[in-house]
Amino acid sequence: MLFVYPAVFHKVKSGVYEGYFPDLSGCRVSGTTLDDAVGHAHDAAYEWISLELTEDEPALPPISEERDIVLKKDEVIRNISVNIRMFEGWDE
């Protein structure tokens, strides 16, 4: 199943890029470049969603529309897609 969640990134004073998912509580990433941070975001979202799907009653949050996310100065949004192979017995 394909999931696509927006992530917000910005460069901090040290030159590192930090990012977070407005919809995935506590899912934060960083990287030495924006591309690096986006790659880490993919991995973090995969882990976050996979863990949620192991719950007895998974509750994936609704996906925010880009236009509804208020950005601070110098922040950018990247949509992060994650393809998760559903396990046996999962009812789509």
Torsion of CA 26, 32, 33, 39, to 10 degrees: -50
E strand or H helix at 5: strand 2-11
User: What is the tens place of the pLDDT at every residue in 3-38?
Assistant: 999 999 999 999 999 999 999 999 999 999 999 999
User: What is the tens place of the pLDDT at every residue in 52-66?
Assistant: 988 888 889 999 999
- Coil, strand or helix: which one is 34? helix
**Domains in the chain with CATH codes:** 2-83 (3.30.160.250)
Tokens of 38: 């986006």
